[in-house]
Each structure stands twice: as structure tokens, then as C-alpha cells.
Amino acid sequence: MAFSHPRHVRRLVLASTSFGGFAMPGSLEALWHFIHPRSYHPERLERVAGDMFGGRLRKEPELVRSMHIRRPTDTMAALYRMAPLFGWTSLPCLWTIRHPTLVIAGDDDPVTPLVNHRVIATLIPRARLHTVRGGGHLVLLDSADKVGPVITAFLREG
């Protein structure tokens, strides 16, 4: 939306994201669980959630039960989820985003390392980075009490 329809965007919130190709890859173990359909079986998901998503799920893996995480339909669908990491990048365009932007990252995200969020926040001219201590890849869910007020305040500015 920020690229294609900038007039329809007032502010931008980016959470646990990447700019695609050329980004620092996450943990291979986390990525393996992410693409492997069996990792999403309810019993197994609880066992691998911490390695897969980091954050509170490392110490409270039972939280994953309430998150409604859906498994890919098959291995190809899982690989398609990750295709943008290899076949596309927003890196050359980030400087064109002129909207106030809040970049949110957990410091325990095994899928998208914090360095990628720092790059995004540096390249978008009006961006700022908010790092959640102990937040994982699902920072919006595992740290909602810390992130919600920050997002609300950001959206109310100006």
C-alpha cells in the first residue's frame, strides 16, 4: 500500500517483517520448523514453538494453543510462504516511503533477526524502531501488552 497507493496511507506499522532478498536470514532451525507441515500439528507445535517463534513461547509454549496458527497445506505452500525472502526485495525502494513509520521487532525473533528491522528503520526516512525486550516473531501476540500502547500512541500522533 505504501508503494502502490501512498495517498491511502497515513502512517505505517511494520512488525516482525523483512525487506526480502539480501536480508540477514533467521535461524535455520526456526526456518525448518516454519516450512515443515508436521511442525504445526498441535502436540508438536507446542514442543517447537519456542525454537520456531522465540519470545514468550520459549518459556510458555502453551500460549501457542490460543494463537490459531495454521499449518501450510503442503511443503510447496510452506516454501511459497518464504519465496519473498529469496525472490523479491524492497531494499532499493525503502527510501521512497515518506510516511511516518513504526518498525516493531522483538529482540528474540529467530525468524527475522533484529538487524533487518534496524536496516528498515534506517532506510525509511521517517521511521523509528521500537524493540520489545523478550519479544519473539509473534511480538504482536506474545507481547501485546507492551506493543499495543506503543502502536496506539504512534497512530494517534499528528
Q: What is the pLDDT along the chain (158 residues), one digit of tens a residue?
A: 888 899 999 999 999 998 888 888 889 899 888 777 788 887 889 999 999 999 999 999 999 888 878 767 777 776 776 666 667 788 889 999 999 999 999 999 999 999 999 999 999 999 999 999 999 999 999 899 999 999 999 999 97
Residues 6+ apart with CB under 8 A from 7: none
Cell numbers that stand for 103 in this block: 518498525
- C-beta neighbour count of 150 within 10 angstroms: 15
Q: Among candidates 126, 68, 51, which has minimal Cα distance to 94?
A: 126
Identify the CA nearest to 111 among candidates 51, 42, 47. 51
The ranges assigned to domains in the chain are 6-156
What fold does the segment set 6-156 form as a domain? Rossmann fold (3.40.50)
Rounded to an integer, what distance in angstroms lies between the CA atom of residue 142 and that of residue 101? 22
Contact 147, 13 (CB under 8 A): no
Strands 12-15 and 101-106: parallel
80 SS3 class: helix
- Res 57: pLDDT: 94
